[in-house]
A and B are shown apart, each in its own frame.
Chain A
Amino acid sequence: MAESLGEARCDVQPDVAWLFIRNLDNWIREFQGYDDHTVEADGSILLQMRGKMGFMTKVTRLRIVITEEQPPSRLSFSMTGVTDALDGGGELHITPTEGGTSIISYRVTLSGRGIAAPVLNEFLNFVVPDAIGDLAARIAERLTPEAAGA
């Protein structure tokens, strides 16, 4: 299983951050390997990612579906490979600070499935950190009071 996690501080209150984060369409582009996406339904997005894998550029599509909402602190989602044998998920946490702002933290995991999963997982260890990037910092960068209000 490959994992990416991190956290970043942002200058908005937790309830404002929540309104932004609960909509996947607001922050799906902040995955570093983002290439394109399609909103399939409320809480369900088809994400296309693009990244280098050795000599090859790999384009992969993942279905991201919100599985749990705990306003205003936690959003959980599943990730299922559409083009590749991948399963995973993630969480975004919003933690209030003493100053009334928020800390955004995240954890995303991806695993291969099927008989070649051990090999796939080794490749994922190489590519997942680049594909996800510092998701928290990129979301925090977007989450200015103006953007959140919009």
Chain B
Amino acid sequence: MSADHELIVVGAGGAGLTAAIAAHDAGASVVVLEKSSYVGGTFAYSTGLTWIPNNHHMREEGADDSSAEALRYIVPRTSGRHDEAVLETFVGRGPDVIAYLEREGVPFEIVPGYPDEQADEPGGRTHGRYLSSPVFAAAAELDAEWREILVRSPNYSGLPASWREIQGWGGFGSIANWNWELLAGRVRDDVRAFGMSTAGYLLKAARARGIEIRLDTAAVSLLTDRGRVIGVTDSRGEEVRASRGVVLSTGSYDNDPTFKRNLEPHPPTVSLGAPTVDGSGLVMALELGAQFALLGGQLLTPAYHVEGEETDAGPVYRMLAREPGFPGSVIVNRNGERFCDESTITELRRALALLDPHTRSYPNHPAFFVFDQRWKDRYPLGPIMPGETPEWLSRADTASELARLIGVDEKRFETTLTTFNEGAAVGTDESFGRGESKFSRAHGDPEVTPNPCLRPLEPPLYALDVCVGIVGTNGGLVIDGTGAVQSVRGESIPGLYAAGNAAANLVGGLWYNAGMMNARGMIFGFVGARAALGAE
């Protein structure tokens, strides 16, 4: 039977759209199958941060970087679980893929003042590796039908500003300085930002090429012919065939409780990404004998729920990433004790999900984000603006009253605050070193001295429940340096490629940082599609 297309891309997120655009530009006929009614996937739900070492914008600004320096930074962090060829592709091809996308109408710019998480370490950089797209004027760039199917992330829809603009206005700690009239006009004009922006530009580029995107069409299983993947069976029961193969960019198992329970020791987690990401791409590949790597599993993040925010899939959870770095706040566990440097998300997410091997319990889950009135009056908490205090927030006039209200150990909580406040008053945190690293200080309030992350808490105090969210997974299908999915016998499965979170993070191994998943998605979408077509 003749093939309908040369390449099938399963999933219309950042990785899938990049793969489709690259395939089209390599001269192939390509179709994108998308399970949901929307385009953008996990990328569109994300911050949009894209971590590309040695990118051309750094060179334009005279910022020093190289592939060797990127490897010097990455390799010591992977616990030896990276794949040399995959890492080489990430570091070596990343700058080219970004440059290609920019030529094709998907712009990026440096996020100023956003250092590597461990910028002080060998190979680390304080500036330039974090990219994001400028805002995307959806109403002007897309026709009405496609504008409506571009994902509207519940996390960022009310904030149509680019990272570069926000940093220029002083960051999230200086929200009073933001240009709210400009933002209001952009809401009116349906301007998108964060991950939605890059997804919008990718969608526009795909539409400009006439690439077919079939919505509400899930791939259910892979079709093979003598061991080679030649297409998929879709959710309508129809066979869709492709002469050069299939790129799986379905995301991972973010919303699948069985994968999570069977694979990982973490406490229950909530997904902050696309609700249709449920492991279906992994299942299709595993049925063909694909190799799977866990690599630490879910990409954890502290998360919280704002009362009254829901989707059809359940409550909306937001990432608690910036807020804990601002001074006048701590995070405590049920014992009323701090357990990490709250301003460094890497530390926070690890500590939140920690399993105590002796008690077989999670000592830091659930946790409570505690902040004072000055914090509340100065910083935003997701959609809750400074000065606003919804009645559902726990509030108390003393530490002991707050402890009783939220159910944490009263005496220990008081001791925790006393100890924290004594150090914070002189800008030190002897317990966890909050505000000592460049990354930590970049997430504080520059107007607070001597430590931008520290100030004693003064009643009245507020508390918010913190749970463990996920923004994707490190676990996924094992690929080689071209994105080809590997079998359990260590051979490429002919015609099958994986990109984005469907592929294991063989760049970072057991490690990951913000922006790596988005970068991996686009790089391996590009490389995998071209490899499938024999263009690599």
Q: A: which residues have CB within 8 A of B? A: 54-61, 82-85, 113-123, 125
Q: How many angstroms between the C-alpha atoms of A86 and B384 in the bound complex?
A: 12
Q: How many angstroms between the C-alpha atoms of A84 and B387 in the bound complex?
A: 12
Which of the residues B309, B388, B392 comes within 8 Å of A58, measured between beta carbons? B309
Is A56 in contact with B309, judged by CB distance below 8 angstroms? yes
A54-B154, A55-B311 are known contacts; what are 6 more A-B pairs with Cβ within 8 Å? A56-B154, A56-B309, A56-B310, A59-B307, A119-B187, A125-B188
Interface string of B173-193 (1 = CB under 8 A from A): 001101011011001100000
Q: How many angstroms between the C-alpha atoms of A61 and B306 in the bound complex?
A: 13
Q: Which residues in A have their C-beta under 8 angstroms from that of B311?
A: 55-57
Q: Judge whether B241 is part of the interface by a CB distance below 8 angstroms.
A: no
Q: Which residues in A have their C-beta under 8 angstroms from that of B387?
A: 114-115
Which of the residues A61, A83, A123 comes within 8 Å of B158, measured between beta carbons? A123
Q: Which residues in B have their C-beta under 8 angstroms from that of A85?
A: 384-385, 388
Q: Judge whether B60 is part of the interface by a CB distance below 8 angstroms.
A: no
| B454, chain A: closest CB distance, angstroms | 25
Q: Which residues in B have their C-beta under 8 angstroms from that of A121?
A: 184
Q: Judge whether B316 is part of the interface by a CB distance below 8 angstroms.
A: yes
Q: Which residues in B have their C-beta under 8 angstroms from that of A125?
A: 188
Interface string of B277-309 (1 = CB under 8 A from A): 000000000000000000000000000000111
Which of the residues B152, B180, B309, B316 comes within 8 Å of A117, measured between beta carbons? B180
Is B176 in contact with A115, judged by CB distance below 8 angstroms? yes
Known: A55-B311, A83-B308. A115 touches B386 (CB 8 A): yes
Is A83 in contact with B181, judged by CB distance below 8 angstroms? no
Q: How many angstroms between the C-alpha atoms of A112 and B391 in the bound complex?
A: 17
Is A119 in contact with B158, judged by CB distance below 8 angstroms? yes
| A43, chain B: closest CB distance, angstroms | 20
Q: Which residues in A have their C-beta under 8 angstroms from that of B357?
A: none
For window 126-183 of B, CB contacts with A under 8 Å fall at 151-154, 157-159, 175-176, 178, 180-181, 183
B178, B180, B181, B386 interface centre (most CB from chain A within 10 Å): B180
Interface string of B375-403 (1 = CB under 8 A from A): 00000000011111011100000000000
For window 202-250 of B, CB contacts with A under 8 Å fall at none
Q: Which residues in B have their C-beta under 8 angstroms from that of A55?
A: 151-154, 157, 311
**Taking CB as reference atom, which chain B residue is nearest A54?**
B152
Q: Judge whether B312 is part of the interface by a CB distance below 8 angstroms.
A: yes
Q: Which residues in A have their C-beta under 8 angstroms from that of B180?
A: 115-119
| A54, chain B: closest CB distance, angstroms | 4
**A/B interface sample: 17 pairs, CB < 8 A:** A55-B157, A56-B154, A56-B309, A56-B316, A58-B310, A59-B308, A83-B391, A84-B390, A114-B386, A114-B387, A115-B385, A115-B386, A115-B387, A116-B158, A116-B183, A117-B180, A119-B159
| A115, chain B: closest CB distance, angstroms | 6
Which of the residues B151, B175, B187, B307 comes within 8 Å of A122, measured between beta carbons? B187
Q: How many angstroms between the C-alpha atoms of A59 and B178 in the bound complex?
A: 27
For window 292-340 of B, CB contacts with A under 8 Å fall at 307-312, 316
Q: Which residues in A have their C-beta under 8 angstroms from that of B181?
A: 118
Is B312 in contact with A119, judged by CB distance below 8 angstroms? no
Which of the residues B183, B307, B390 comes within 8 Å of A118, measured between beta carbons? B183
